[in-house]
Structures are given as structure tokens and as C-alpha cells.
Structure 1
Amino acid sequence: MPFIPLPFVVALLLLILLTVVLRRDGGSSQNFPLLALIILSIWQSVLSGLRWGYDIRTMMFLAPVGAAIVPPLAYAGVVQLVRGSRRFKTWQFGLHAIPALTVVLFLLASRDLIDVLLVGEFVGYALAILLLMRPGADALRLAPFEGAAPAYRAILFTAFSLLLSAAGDTFVFLDLIWTHGEYARPVIAISNLFLLTILSVAAASTGSPSEPVVVVSPPPQVDVAEDAGTMAAIDALMRARRVYRDVDLNLDRLARKAGIPARQISIAINRATGKNVSQYVNEQRIAEACQLLAETERSVTEIMFDVGFQTKSNFNREFKRVTEMTPLQWRERASSIAI
């Protein structure tokens, strides 16, 4: 039986993942940097299989260049989720290309410095991603509220994966100095596969923005009275128009419906409820779901779609977060109280 290196198996699995993502996010709304990240992960897995499975040493000259491209792609994908589909300017492309170009120069001049460069790059981009996500899930203004929390966690996972990769590269660098690479080979193979896999899964989990962003200037310092007015307007939208039923509702769309800057809405809800906007909107959905479960015989799935959820896993998770019960347990309890 021919030997098939594990990286080739990983590459095949990532190719299947890419196909699923392309089918899910069809159309012009795809997040191309994150798609490119998955494609690059497939390429790096193939290189890893050729290098460590068949000992083709020329692959070691290509792999560092691909590794240098991973953090900028991850960062660009997160930026698109946070700020919309605005294109990077030429100088921004040039700025993010510097690490890969520097790696190419080091390959020609001094390979010893490549590990140090990659460690610094991975740490720098990880911190940049964490900086973008300081507002929490509300930073994802273009992500539908149902998927904002999973996307936020996937992005944090991406940032910490970059940090873990930097830690692995640091270990390999020190191992080459202290033991002349006794443990470098297995650590490199395992850490690379781990990084590529989790980055690809995280990229697939974040989805893609559904519409262009509307740029709104940050408002001045918000006071208590303004918070109260904002909350009154949002509560009225929820009660009168039930805008939470919109499955594609996100922070920008809510801001346009209310005629209030997105940042002002986020600040007001956070101060008034201690929750982010996605949690607040999902709680409005769960409140109506509870009412429908208690007062009608409609199926849980039908109610889930009616109140604005698209997936049963998200619905069940949010329902349990709010009520500490499953939908069926809630219905059973409501029936027993009615009797």
C-alpha cells in the first residue's frame, strides 16, 4: 500500500471544507481573504506532506513564504467582517506584503533570521486582531446577530492560534540552538498541521458579511438621557415592528432602521442591559418563542424560523442561555402550569 502522509489527508479535508464554504456563501458577498486563507492552508499542507513525508527538501524554501502570508490574510478577513467590503488601498497591500517579501530576501541571504521574523509577524497580527475585537461581538457590525457570537469566538480562536504558532516557532528556534533540532521535526509537523486546520475551521466559521457597510462617525460622549432615548427607540422597534424577526438583521441594519448611529446603539444597550447587541436581540427572539411555545401547538422548528433564527443549534443555545431550559422543557412547564 502506498504511503500517504498525514498532511495530504489534512489537505483533502480542507478542500472539502472549502467546497462547503463556497456553496454556503455563494454570490458576491464572500469574504475572499478568508477563502484565500483556506486555499493557502491546503497549499501549505501539501508542501508539508512533500517535505516531511517524502523528504523533498526544496519545499522548505516555499513553506516560509506561505507561512508569512497567513497572518495578513487572517487580519484582512477580520477587517472585512468588522469594517465591510471596502478594498484595501495600494499602500495597504504593500504594507501587508512586507513580511512575505522580507522572508524571500532572507531565503536568499540569511535563513537564520526567518524564524525570528515569523514569530514577530504572528504575534503582531494576533495583537492587531485582538485590538479590532475590543468591543466584543458588537465589533462585527455586518454579521447577522444569530451568528455574531460564534464568529466572534472563531476570530478570537484565530488570534490565539497565531500566538500559539509563534510559541511553537520560538520552541523550534531554541531547540535548534540547544539540541541541534532533536525535537524540531515532530514539533514543526504537528504545529503546522494544527495551525492550518484551526485557522481554516475558524475562517469557515466566521461566514461573510451580507451587505456593504455604512460608515458612521462616532458620536460624542453619550449621557444617561441619550441612553434612555436610544433604548426607547430600539425597544419600540422591537415591540411595534418586531425587527428581530429579520434573519439577516445586524448592527448596521438595525442602525438604519432606527436612524441612530450603530456605535450609539451598542453603547446604550451595553450600559442599560450589561449585554451586547446580539445578546439583546436574541433575547427578544427568545421572548416571543417562549410565548409561542406556551400558547400554540406549533412545532419548535417552525417557531424557531418565525422568530428569526436559522439554525437549531443557535436557537437551542440561546434559548438555554436565556431560560436555562430547552424549548421542549419550557413547553412542558408552561403546559403543567396551565393545568
Structure 2
Amino acid sequence: MLFVPVSFVVALLLVLLFAALVRRNDEIRANRPFLALIALCAVQSVLVGLRWGYGLSEVRFILPIAAGLLPPLVYASFRTLIHDDHPRGGLSALAYLAPPLVILLLILTIPWLIDAALIVLYVSYAFAVLSLGRTGPDALDEARFEGALPTFRALQIAALALCASALFDFIVLLDFEWTKGANVAAMVSSANVLGLLLLGLAATVAGRNQPEAEGKVAPEPPPAPASAEDRDVLARIDSLMLTQSLFRDENLNLSRLARRAGIPARRISGAINRLTGLNVSQYVNDHRIREACRLLQETDHAVTAVMFEAGFQTKSNFNREFRRVTGVSPMAWRERSARV
């Protein structure tokens, strides 16, 4: 009977995720980092299957290099969801390539340090990824408001997957010390593929919430958090929402809102946070829910049609946000408003 390692099945699932993201032809350019991340996860999953499923020992020289490339690629992918006024160009690319180059150097010189180096690398980048979202969903100002929260959750899952990989690498080190590696094959084939699958899923969720490409954003001056200024900023944003119905834009994100308002993104985020107690995604969704409530009360449109017209793209997000704002489902709200 033909033996198929679990890691090969995971690689197939990752290829399917890759294909699903590629089908969004209008966003392939924006999704390149996430596509590269999913592809690397698939390749590494195949390498794990060849090494520990079929005992192909030659792969042991390639696996650490692929493993060293994974954390910086995770960081680089989620970094694209944050606007950068001062891109570093070639220097940044060199920084992302440094970890796998260091691993290659260790393979050639001090191979017994590779596992320890990978553990430090994975934990360090896990904290670096978490730092990208340290202020919550608003930190991901290039992600669509529609998917800001799922994207933020995907970032957390990616960091967790990196930590889990580091933990299992440490357990493998202990297994080599205690049992001479008797349990390594089983641990690696189960733990690594789970981490790679989690990273692939997180990359898919985040990649789907990349907006369509738009012009560059002007550099932001330092924010001046004065209460009177906060009120002026919020009044300007409220006016844009009411007069231009910006909330209907499915690609709306914090950077795009800043461009339309002519106000720095951090100033918008700070004003909304301080005056409403909401993040910008929740603030925009509040406008969308108010519009949905109006449509449910004044028209006989189907709930799905109302969802799209109000600016939502997924039923799960629409229902969740509708309950957050009104406390009931869209159908229950329509029935209740009809009795009033």
C-alpha cells in the first residue's frame, strides 16, 4: 500500500489555499508576500515528508535553510499591511535574507548550533510580528476595515505558530538528549505540519483583506492629540461618512480614509479611539450597520442585498457586527422595527 505522509496532505491543502488567493486576479500584486509565504510553507511541508516520511537524508541540508527563511517572510508579509513612509529598499531585503544565510553558514561551520539558532530566530520573530499589531486592528492600516479584525487575529495566530514551532524544536532537542532521537520522526511530522498549516491559513486570511492598489500616502506629521483637534477630526470624518457614504467602499482602510480626509492616519485613529472608545474598524462598521438598519426598515430588500449595499462583504462579519451594535440579528431587527 502506498504510504503518503501527513505533511504531503498538508502541502496539498496549502497549494489549494495558494490557488484560492491567486484566483483574485485583481489583487495578485498586493498579495505577493502572502503568496510567497504560503508557497514556502507548502515546499517546507513536502521537505518534511521527504525527510521524516521517506527517510531522504539529503533533505536535511535544505530543511534548516527553508526554516530560516520562514520567520522573516512571515514578518515581511504582515508588514505590508502597515503603511511605511520611509521604505528601506535593498537594506530591508538584506535583513530578511540574513537569517537563512546565517543558517547556511552554520551548516558549513558549526552544524550543532542550528537547532538553537532556529529556536532563537522563531521566538524573536514571533515577538516582532506581535509588535506590528501592538495597538490592535488599527495598527494594520492597509487592511480593509471589512476584514481588519480577522486579519489581526491571523497576525496573532502566525506569531503563535512561530512560538509553537520553536517549542517543538526545543522538545526535539531534548528528545535527542534523552532518547537519541527515537521519537523525532513522529514529533516533527505532526508538529511542523500543524504549524505550517496554521501559517498558511493565517496568510490566506490576511492576504484576502489586502485592498486594491492605490496611490502613495503622503508622510504623516507627528500627531498633536488635543481634545479640540480630536473633535474637529471626528467631525470631518463623520461628514465624509454621511455626505459621501465612504463606508460603502469595500476596499476602505485607514490609509485610504486618511487620503480622502487629508488627515494623517494616526490622528484619525487617535481621535476616534479617544472620543468614541472604538477602533476605526468598529467606527466604520457602526456607520454600515446604521445604513443596514435604515435599509431593513425602509425597503423590502433581502438581508444579503442589504449587507452588500451597506458595505459588508461576508455574512459572518455582517451578522457579528450587527449583533454588536443592535444586540439582535438582522431578521429579528427587521421584525421588531416592523411592529413599532
Q: Same fold (TM over 0.5)?
A: yes
* Residues in 2 aligned to 1:104 and 1:209: alpha-carbon distance in whole angstroms: 36
Tell me which of 306, 309, 312 is aligned to 1:306: 309
* Residues in 2 aligned to 1:43 and 1:277: alpha-carbon distance in whole angstroms: 37
Partner residue in 2 for 1:37: 37
Partner residue in 2 for 1:283: 286
Native 8 Å contact 1:144 1:247 kept in 2:
yes
Confirm whether residue 235 of structure 1 aligns to residue 238 of structure 2: yes
Given the two structures, how large is their TM-score scaled by the length of structure 2? Answer: 0.94
User: How far off is 1:324 after superposition?
Assistant: 2.1
Q: Secondary structure at the match of 2:192?
A: helix
* Residues in 1 aligned to 2:85 and 2:196: alpha-carbon distance in whole angstroms: 25
Partner residue in 2 for 1:81: 81
* Residues in 1 aligned to 2:85 and 2:126: alpha-carbon distance in whole angstroms: 21
Q: Which deviations, in whole Å up to 9, do the C-alpha atoms of 1:228-285 show, x marking residues without a partner?
A: 1111111111222221111111111211222211110000000011111011000110
Q: Which deviations, in whole Å up to 9, do the C-alpha atoms of 1:73-127 show, x marking residues without a partner?
A: 1111111111269865222222222211111122122221111110111111111
* Residues in 2 aligned to 1:259 and 1:265: alpha-carbon distance in whole angstroms: 10
Native 8 Å contact 2:6 2:189 kept in 1:
no
Native 8 Å contact 2:22 2:28 kept in 1:
no
User: Cα gap change, 1:84/1:22 in structure 2, threshold over 3 Å: closer, same or farther?
Assistant: farther
Partner residue in 2 for 1:329: 332
* Residues in 1 aligned to 2:196 and 2:238: alpha-carbon distance in whole angstroms: 43
Q: Which deviations, in whole Å up to 9, do the C-alpha atoms of 1:152-199 show, x marking residues without a partner?
A: 110111111111111111121122223322333222221110111000
Q: Secondary structure at the match of 2:212?
A: coil
* Residues in 2 aligned to 1:152 and 1:328: alpha-carbon distance in whole angstroms: 29
- Root-mean-square deviation (CA, aligned residues, Å) is 1.8
Matches within 5 A, 1:25-104: 25-27=25-27, 29-83=29-83, 89-104=89-104
* Residues in 2 aligned to 1:193 and 1:34: alpha-carbon distance in whole angstroms: 18
Partner residue in 2 for 1:214: 217
Partner residue in 1 for 2:319: 316
Deviating above 4 A after TM superposition, structure 1's stretches of 4 or more consecutive aligned residues are: 84-88
Q: Secondary structure at the match of 1:82?
A: coil
Tell which deviates more after alignment, 243-252 or 27-36: 27-36
Gaps of 5+ in 2: none
* Residues in 2 aligned to 1:218 and 1:25: alpha-carbon distance in whole angstroms: 35
* Residues in 2 aligned to 1:319 and 1:216: alpha-carbon distance in whole angstroms: 35
Count how many residue pairs are aligned between Structure 1 and Structure 2. 337
Partner residue in 2 for 1:293: 296
User: How far off is 1:27 after superposition?
Assistant: 4.5
* Residues in 1 aligned to 2:87 and 2:243: alpha-carbon distance in whole angstroms: 38
Partner residue in 2 for 1:6: 6
Gaps of 5+ in 1: none
Native 8 Å contact 1:84 1:209 kept in 2:
no
User: Cα gap change, 1:215/1:75 in structure 2, threshold over 3 Å: closer, same or farther?
Assistant: farther
User: How far off is 1:201 after superposition?
Assistant: 0.6
* Residues in 1 aligned to 2:221 and 2:5: alpha-carbon distance in whole angstroms: 52
* Residues in 2 aligned to 1:98 and 1:261: alpha-carbon distance in whole angstroms: 34
Partner residue in 1 for 2:270: 267
Tell which deviates more after alignment, 263-272 or 243-252: 243-252
Native 8 Å contact 2:142 2:254 kept in 1:
yes
Matches within 5 A, 1:85-124: 89-124=89-124
Tell which deviates more after alignment, 158-167 or 183-192: 183-192
Q: Secondary structure at the match of 1:83?
A: coil
User: How far off is 1:25 after superposition?
Assistant: 4.9
Native 8 Å contact 1:142 1:210 kept in 2:
no
Native 8 Å contact 1:29 1:210 kept in 2:
no
Q: Which deviations, in whole Å up to 9, do the C-alpha atoms of 1:11-59 show, x marking residues without a partner?
A: 1111111100100254453321211111111111111111121111111
Native 8 Å contact 1:172 1:187 kept in 2:
yes
* Residues in 1 aligned to 2:246 and 2:194: alpha-carbon distance in whole angstroms: 41
Confirm whether residue 166 of structure 1 aligns to residue 169 of structure 2: no
Letter in 2 for 1:223: A
Letter in 2 for 1:264: R
Q: Secondary structure at the match of 1:134?
A: coil
Confirm whether residue 128 of structure 1 aligns to residue 135 of structure 2: no
